[in-house]
Structure 1
Amino acid sequence: MPVNRNALIRYRTIDSCLQNRRRKWTLDDLIDACADALYEFQGIDTGVSRRTIQGDIEMMRSNKLGYEAPIVVVDKKYYTYSDKNYSITNIPLNDQDMQVLGEVANLLQQFKGFNHFADLNEMVSKLEDKIYTQKTHSTPVIDFEKNDNLKGLEYIEVIRKAIVAKKTICITYQSFKAREASAFCFSPYLLKEYRNRWFVLGRTHQRNNLLLNLALDRIQAITDDNEDYIENKDIDLAAYYSNVIGVTKSPKQRDVEVVFWIDSANAPYVITKPLHHTQKLLSEDATGKIFSIRVIMNFELERELLGFGAKLRVLGPRILVKQIKDQLKKTLGQYEGATPDGQ
């Protein structure tokens, strides 16, 4: 049953009062205590009615919220708990509660490992401990895409702080193509996630302040640096990746209209999960549908299109058609002369 914040504050206040057995609590005392609590936590100074607190007490006594609080009246005047050890905060969780908490824990677990979510990590750990102590063994009903072996996540918070503070950092970096690592000063602008990999966009302080997109899993070390930060004055970071599938692009690169056909059996997948937010349906017939998207031509685009195999055919632009054909020829060449067992 949904409960608003003000009601929860009143329930907790009444509970705290009734646990304090060093004094006797009249209805007026409980009204005053709840009014003080609402003013302290919510800034509400209109007071609380007698009827509201009487209703709260009955709600706490009931099972509607799972409390079933043993609230009794002594001497026809004073409210207290018949069980001195009772508190609404000590109520054991039922099976439904445990199922919901388990699902929430699984969801929050996706953020563990990110330094930026240090407080969240602690909260998840507490939640997991609560579930464990309640001995739940429910089967997970949500399974998120994740990569537990992903490298570089420890740099997310370092880079985020540098972006916010506009601080230069020194990065030791080795791309997949480089024979050895190199170190350079870098002014970071934007953190970007794509398919469970993280990247940072910024300017190097070498090579005419070239704009670079660095993969965090290729970073070997990050240290602070005293060089002046290079302000971003020419890039709209909110829209920089809007015409891209993936992360690969250069500032002067222009998008093109990519037209492709996909067979009727697989068209529904592209309709329900568009390749890009610019996707449009151009035409259709019994064999399939023709779509267009307006994006930068890059490696990630080719990989996305090639992933459909024979189910998709690129119709334009011509340069992209040629690139896809070349890739398919190379792929076919990998199988020429191969035996069924791959030898």
Structure 2
Amino acid sequence: MRNYSLIRMCAIVRYLENKLDRNGEPREFISKKELETYLKQTPEGQDGLLSISGRSIDRSIEELRSMNVNIKYSHSYKGYAIEHLPEDEAICQEQQQRIVEMFNMIDVMRTDHGFSKFLHFEKRDRLGTQFLMTLLKSCQKKSITQITYHSFYKEEENKLVEPYFVKEWEGRWYLIAMDKSKRALRTYAFDRLKEVKVYNNQTFNDQFREEAVHYFDHCIGIFGSNNKKPEEVIIRCSKRQAKFVETKPLHQTQTMCEDEDGWTTFKYKICVTYDLLKELLSYGPEVVVIKPDRLREEMIDNLERSLCLYE
């Protein structure tokens, strides 16, 4: 059975998204009457399967707002638009972007226009997202949770943790939690979770959660600062690579300036971690680390050891 409420929300998001300019700002506001007309033109609307009324539209918009899609109503223009959130609400802005992308994808997948043969997904194993709702609830309720975890380097084991939040990185999901036996912050990949058991009658103190949230402020990836201090990192990228780095910044502190030789210099205030090193190595000959010296030496060492494998 189709979820027509979901279909209605998908259609509303698509229509409002099409009314944004290239910077994501509304170029026009859409009235409720225009939304009704548009919904009636959808296949479900034409077949009479979709409930279309002012009340149903209001209900769908409220549901979207509850998912952090920032739909605003303008009394001046008498219409609706999706608006960007302020810079100090970066996490909510990222959530809104992902939710909108999800609705757009559902909208494409639900239509029967023969799109499937043109849509190729990355082949990958299960991501462990079956645990997502359970773990988010345990984070919200501050419930002590037991996870059965099988890391790449150890045998499967049970761990009691204080779950703080869930983090995504490179298409995978991770639980950020306090390992109660070690009293240390740890990162657990969802795809290596075997079982999750929540103890709703056992809760934890929230005092370390804020510290955990800021643990990644000056880092990229899933390896936190681990008491490291952020430092100035300077890299130079080729003209080709610079376009990718500019449009997908390594970190929110990124600044850039073009050099006379066609290369581009990028500067950051971040901690040097394994994920940063791995990312820069993936750029190959398209990047040069200028500072700090320690990172530059690690890059040279890794590249020399790779070269030795081909001798």
**Is 2:169 the partner of 1:194?**
yes
Q: Equivalents in 1 of 2:201, 2:174: separation in Å? A: 22
Task: Rate the CA distance shift 1:238–1:3 in 2: closer, same or farther, 3 A.
Answer: same
- Helix, strand or coil for the counterpart of 1:265? helix
What's the counterpart of residue 130 of structure 2? 154
**Map 1:132-281 → 2, pairs under 5 A:** 132=112, 136-138=113-115, 148-178=124-154, 180-207=155-182, 209-225=183-199, 228-234=202-208, 235-236=210-211, 238-281=213-256
Q: Equivalents in 2 of 1:291, 1:285: separation in Å? A: 14
Q: Equivalents in 2 of 1:40, 1:219: separation in Å? A: 40
- Residue 248 of structure 1 contacts residue 300 of structure 1 at CA under 8 Å; is this kept in 2? yes
Q: TM-score, normalised by structure 2?
A: 0.63
**Map 1:38-187 → 2, pairs under 5 A:** 107-108=105-106, 128=110, 131-132=111-112, 136-138=113-115, 148-178=124-154, 180-187=155-162
Task: Return 5+ residue gaps in structure 2 as ranges.
Answer: 1-14, 16-29, 41-52, 59-100
User: 1:147, CA displacement in angstroms?
Assistant: 5.2
- Residue 264 of structure 1 contacts residue 286 of structure 1 at CA under 8 Å; is this kept in 2? no
- Residue 150 of structure 1 contacts residue 197 of structure 1 at CA under 8 Å; is this kept in 2? no
- Residue 256 of structure 1 contacts residue 294 of structure 1 at CA under 8 Å; is this kept in 2? yes
In the TM superposition, what whole-angstrom CA distance separates every residue of 1:230-287 from its partner, at most 9, and x where no partner exists?
A: 3231434554423211110144222221111112333232222222211112561224
Q: Which amino acid aligns with 1:137?
A: G
Q: Equivalents in 1 of 2:31, 2:125: separation in Å? A: 41
**Is 2:32 the partner of 1:4?**
yes
- Residue 260 of structure 1 contacts residue 312 of structure 1 at CA under 8 Å; is this kept in 2? yes
- Residue 147 of structure 1 contacts residue 196 of structure 1 at CA under 8 Å; is this kept in 2? no
Task: Rate the CA distance shift 1:287–1:106 in 2: closer, same or farther, 3 A.
Answer: closer
- Residue 148 of structure 2 contacts residue 157 of structure 2 at CA under 8 Å; is this kept in 1? yes
Higher relative contact order (CA 8 A, sep 6+): 2
Task: Rate the CA distance shift 1:205–1:313 in 2: closer, same or farther, 3 A.
Answer: same
Q: Equivalents in 1 of 2:257, 2:31: separation in Å? A: 49
Q: Equivalents in 2 of 1:314, 1:39: separation in Å? A: 57
User: 1:8, CA displacement in angstroms?
Assistant: 4.5
Q: TM-score, normalised by structure 1?
A: 0.57
Task: Rate the CA distance shift 1:307–1:40 in 2: closer, same or farther, 3 A.
Answer: closer
What's the counterpart of residue 259 of structure 2? 284
State the aligned residue count.
229
